[in-house]
Structure 1
Amino acid sequence: MAISLILGMLVGAVLGLTGAGGGILAVPVLVAGMGWTMQQAAPVALVAVVGSAVLGALEGLRKKLVRYRAAMLMALSGVPFTLVGLHVAQVTPQRWLMGIFGLVMLFVGLRLLLQKQDSAAMNIETTMRIARIDPQTGRFQWCLGTGLLLGSIGALTGFLTGLLGVGGGFVIVPLLRRYTNVSMHGVVATSLMVIALVGTGGIVVALVHGAVMPVKATVLFALTTAMGMAAGRQLAGRLSGRHVQRGFAAVLIVVALGLVTRALLAPVIG
């Protein structure tokens, strides 16, 4: 089980360094390190990601950063779609699922690599802000557009959670940043709460539909992921955000290309 310990620390450190989107590495790390299929690795990875997200969400709640009404709406719309994603994953051939995951990772990595780091530019008010925080109440101005936006983000997160076993922070964070005026700290904290809620629902759905998780490997991977996340957070304060983002993007792109290559070669090598 030494491999589980090492892999958990690695994924946790990335989570701590990068925030809510780092869990996307958990599945490919388990596939490569443990020799599991995507379908076997997904629920185990989800347990570790959810455990780490719970810790982050509790910290966000303590600091009053979580938009809990928005998080609950996203979770309520997301959990049913985990069942849809899980069904698609179960009927999709391994090589296709691996290829889809690789393409998703490639997209996320390229987006991070090309994303501007100018925080002032990122905070400029634009007409694309569909959901806004009321400056007087400090809460969302609830309307049909706000509900549809948050519900759609939740549904997409739930589908990807069931399909790929990912937390979905790489979806929630950029969409909330683009279409709302919530602060970055609030976005990450809210994203972690959504990941915790939707991921928990995804684990339950997977178990009900026959997913088998090796208890020892799952527990060790989850615990070491949490430990690695704590270490990553300490290290994050000493590193440039720009360098962390570019480094994470480069890792995602390399892993993505590896997954896509394996998917393409799978029919040839059997």
Structure 2
Amino acid sequence: MEAIQILGYFGALFIGLVLGLMGSGGSIMAVPIFAYMFQISPITTTAYSLFVVGTSSSVGVLKNFRRGLIDFRIALVFAIPSFVTVYMTRKFIVPMIPEELISMGNFMITRNMGIMLLFALLMLIASISMLRKKERPTEENVQPRYNYPMMVIGGAVIGILTGIVGIGGGFLIIPVLVLWIKLPMKKAVATSLFIIALKSLIGFTGNLGDLDINWSFLLVFTLISILGIFLGIFLSSYIKSEKLKRSFGWFVLVMAIGILCKEVFA
């Protein structure tokens, strides 16, 4: 086994750690690890990412449920349209994307490159939205805004994006829950993890029969990630919400810049 692949398995542990700690970000790690460390094609990478993030998140959901941190009203209204759009996107839209998207002389954007660039762009937007937001009032004084049309539209849009780039979507869901719906950060993390778990696994089913899945590799990778999520949930109890939000924003920003540089200048 090559050294970079061994490092990739350590990355599996970090995927779970990030998911447990931040309620998102697992796919931000999974997609580059599968694509760059294991040399898996982006289409297959997106499917693997959905399975790993969905399965690992499910374990975290059980622990957060016992702690009473999941807002099921928001989760269900947000998640149902997302379920529909992510499945439809994986089943019908992704297979229709052409191999060559844009060709300008010697420069060409292929389907694989386009998926990674879109992935990085979404990360960049989400990170800036989190870092620019001023500190909110004390969490105990903030009541969630149950804006159902916003939740339905947001869920549907994130479902489409999730299906295309193979992400759990937490780095998009959490800014919506925190900045628009005013959900406290730790509840946003737990609620996001619940939405991610269901949405990712449903999205993965859209690929069954279309791809050749290496189940032995995928299950080992997922088990390592599950160990990381237990560690992340444990550590999250000792970190303040506002610090967690800013750390999340910086983490996503660094990853976005790294992927953009890799795709454009490599």
The one-character-per-residue Cα deviations of 1:193-215 (angstroms, maximum 9, x if unpaired) are 2112211210111214x033211
TM-score by length of 2: 0.79
List aligned pairs for 1:112-261, cutoff 5 A: 112-120=130-138, 130-131=145-146, 146=148, 148-208=149-209, 210-238=210-238, 244-261=244-261
Does 1:110 find its partner at 2:128?
A: yes
Distance 1:71 1:239 in 2: 24
Distance 2:70 2:240 in 1: 25
Determine helix, strand or coil for the equivalent of 2:40.
Answer: coil
Determine helix, strand or coil for the equivalent of 2:197.
Answer: helix
Aligned identity (percent) is 27
Distance 2:234 2:69 in 1: 20
Which of 50, 64, 68 pairs up with 1:64? 68
Go from structure 1 to structure 2 and tell me whether the alpha carbon gap of 1:259 and 1:238 turns closer, same or farther (over 3 Å shift).
Answer: same
Give the match for residue 138 of structure 1.
none
The one-character-per-residue Cα deviations of 1:34-56 (angstroms, maximum 9, x if unpaired) are 12222121111111111222122
Contact 1:130 1:180 in 2 (8 A): yes
Determine helix, strand or coil for the equivalent of 1:212.
Answer: coil
Contact 2:82 2:159 in 1 (8 A): yes
Question: What displacement does 1:257 show?
Answer: 2.0
The one-character-per-residue Cα deviations of 1:238-264 (angstroms, maximum 9, x if unpaired) are 556555554443443333223223333
Give the match for residue 51 of structure 1.
55
What is the letter of the counterpart of residue 171 of structure 1? L
Does 1:101 find its partner at 2:96?
A: no
Distance 1:74 1:180 in 2: 11
Distance 1:103 1:194 in 2: 22
Go from structure 1 to structure 2 and tell me whether the alpha carbon gap of 1:149 and 1:111 turns closer, same or farther (over 3 Å shift).
Answer: closer
The one-character-per-residue Cα deviations of 1:61-93 (angstroms, maximum 9, x if unpaired) are 333333334423333211221134324444151
Go from structure 1 to structure 2 and tell me whether the alpha carbon gap of 1:122 and 1:248 turns closer, same or farther (over 3 Å shift).
Answer: same
Give the match for residue 39 of structure 1.
43
Distance 2:173 2:140 in 1: 16
Structure 1 unpaired stretches of 5+: 132-144
Contact 1:4 1:221 in 2 (8 A): no
Distance 2:30 2:137 in 1: 29
Contact 2:19 2:193 in 1 (8 A): no
Determine helix, strand or coil for the equivalent of 1:83.
Answer: helix
Q: How many residues align?
A: 248
Structure 2 unpaired stretches of 5+: 99-110
Distance 1:37 1:94 in 2: 8
CA RMSD of aligned residues (A): 2.8
Determine helix, strand or coil for the equivalent of 1:211.
Answer: coil
Contact 1:89 1:164 in 2 (8 A): no
Contact 1:99 1:263 in 2 (8 A): yes
Determine helix, strand or coil for the equivalent of 1:213.
Answer: coil
Distance 1:37 1:122 in 2: 46
Determine helix, strand or coil for the equivalent of 1:207.
Answer: coil
Contact 1:109 1:249 in 2 (8 A): yes
Distance 1:16 1:202 in 2: 21
Question: What displacement does 1:187 show?
Answer: 2.7
Give the match for residue 106 of structure 2.
none
Go from structure 1 to structure 2 and tell me whether the alpha carbon gap of 1:123 and 1:170 turns closer, same or farther (over 3 Å shift).
Answer: farther
Question: What displacement does 1:29 show?
Answer: 2.3
TM-score by length of 1: 0.78
Give the match for residue 140 of structure 1.
none
What is the letter of the counterpart of residue 77 of structure 2? L
